[in-house]
Structure 1
Amino acid sequence: MALLLCAAAGIAVHQLTPAPAQTVSVLAAARDLPAGANLAGTDVRTVSVPPAMVPDGTFADSAGVDGKQLAVPLREGQLLTDAQLVGPGLLTGAPPGSAAVPLRMADPSSIQLVSPGQLVNVVLTSGNGYEQASASKVLATSVPVLWTSGQEGRASQWLAAGDSDGLLVVAATPAQASALAGASTQGKLFFVLVGSGAR
């Protein structure tokens, strides 16, 4: 009789105990990481989270991110996705046909004033103010910045340190990309910070 009571009690406890929640393993920042950081295995850790909380573009192991560069800062514990890395993932969510356009600013030090995610107007200034009168033309308005060479003073993963000075990468529509391509050969490029409501 006692054995039956113990068995019944065990069944009751088993039925009252919730089943373990289903989780998946993905990578998260192991510590606060700055934009521009080149990722190594010690910068990320594996965490278990419910599938419903996993965004698209996450990584299951560090082999897929080793050596890649962060386009944005990450807080400790924040899940890592391809949209946070310098590369094709930077255009995630951008309108179809968008292009990542690199631009070299005339004043490299101005890069320190802008961060990924900010909106800028790109301005071309031609002439030299002496023999040729200076004229300014806005080539693109309210384009989002994807990456800058000023991120923690680090070079891009595809450029040497000196080659990336003053470089800014923006997301542009096809028309904007056409106007921006090769613009630095026509004069000096500058940017103007604009608010999010300026679109």
Structure 2
Amino acid sequence: MNILQINGSARANGANSTRVADAITARLKARHPDATVELRDLARDPHPMLDEAALGALFTPADQRTPEQAARVALDDALIAQLKRADVIVLGVPMYNFGVSVQTKSWIDAIARAGQTFRYTANGPEGLVTGKKVYVGLARGGIYRDTPHDAQVPYLKGVLGLLGMTDVEFIYAEGVNMGPERVQAAFDAVEAQIAEAIA
């Protein structure tokens, strides 16, 4: 088993979403001691955002790209290859202003590429990244699960599903900005959720 952990926080140290992701990966390793883990920390190793230059490179035929364009596309290619190698993906996703972090969004923008991870068909898009289990570790300052304010879960279900990843488990750490007792309760709940999800 190859586990890919993506830390999507802007913080390299002390991120609650990374704490959730680490706990998920630790449980997976305990259950599968021979598993390998690839870690991509987007705070320590940020991926460039999708901008006009990147779009120009992606929409230029490979044999016509400048060296700079080829180098930019190669950065996304590396993330796609890493994703395809993985059997299990663990995402650490903080909530920033009701959405995902720019670090997480840049990773998604890199891996969501028509012809590589999904394709358009006469019946609509078809995901090409199939047969993978995804665990999403969510950290939120307040309580948003199953409320209209939770824009993250529908978005992540939608974009991961577009790519073919439909076996997705969400692990919630909520209320982490509501005082020390709530932090402890949140991570007690995380441990219980992980134990149930990875028996």
Note whether the superposition's TM-score is higher than 0.5. Answer: no
Structure possessing the higher relative contact order (Cα contacts under 8 Å, 6 or more residues apart): 2
Higher Rg of the two aligned structures: 1
Report the structure, 1 or 2, having the larger strand content: 1
